[in-house]
Structure 1
Amino acid sequence: MKKRFTLEEANNLLPLLQPLLGQLLEHQARLATLYRPIQPLLRQAALNVGSADTTQLTVEMMAIEKLSAEIRSYGCLLKDIKVGLIDFLSEQDGREVYLCWRYGELEITHYHLLEEGFSERRLI
């Protein structure tokens, strides 16, 4: 059974989640920077697992997975690691919804239906 959050419970987690998500976004940016220049080489040849570039790629990917798992361990859903989007399962007016928070926002002020996404979010 998935954890359901009240608005207060979800907002109380933000001070714990914000630094984790900040680190995750930093690793994601480094991964993208490392991957772009070597992407054509990776397509043409077998991966040289001993190179410095591929070693750093592995380090960044492992850090991203560790931080993602830690964020998910709180019971929330990491929806988009590129923009830092987290959803918290909740209930409003007798139906399940997601409380929706984006990295940088001071508190949770929006929600959306389960079958909707960020672009359809509404003010609480």
Structure 2
Amino acid sequence: MGLFTVTQARAELARLRPVLDELVVMRADAAELAAAMAPGGTPTPLGGLPEWKAAAARLDELMSEVQRTGADLKSLAPLLVDFPSDLDGVPVLLCWLEGEVELGWYHRVDLGFAGRRRLP
């Protein structure tokens, strides 16, 4: 996949929001089901092993859907999505973190999340 402009990345993020919202729900369901199945775990009304397997499969589908856009799902908890881009000739990743209202950050590819800055 190619590079995203800021406008393209924001549009793709908007299109992905329902997928990302479902990822958050499935992540929580899978965690609750896994905890319930652990020795001494508290039962959950969500179910057991079959429901955990279904949640894990759906998580895989949703993560693949994000990756197919050309974006990079860097983290599941919290969700962290990077969009490859270029700012003034410098390779960057436009960076969205779960809880943020919009795509408003970037970091140089070589610096990673620690080098995160607000978009100009």
Does the TM-score normalized on the shorter chain lie above 0.5?
yes
Q: TM-score, normalised by structure 1?
A: 0.82
- Report Cα offsets for 1:61-114 as digits up to 9, x if no partner: 100011111111111001111112100000113121100012332321110122
Moved runs in structure 1, 4+ residues, more than 6 A?
none
Q: Separation in 2 of the partners of 1:26 and 1:6?
A: 29
Superposed CA RMSD in Å reads 1.7
Equivalent residues of 2:36, 2:48 under 8 A apart:
no
Q: Separation in 2 of the partners of 1:74 and 1:21?
A: 13
The residue number in structure 2 matching 1:87 is 82
Query: Amino acid of the residue matched to residue 90 of structure 1?
Result: S
Equivalent residues of 1:11, 1:108 under 8 A apart:
yes
Query: Amino acid of the residue matched to residue 95 of structure 2?
Result: C
Tell me by how many angstroms 1:3 deviates: 1.9
Greater fraction of residues in helix: 1
- Listed as ranges, the gaps of 5+ residues in structure 1 are 42-51
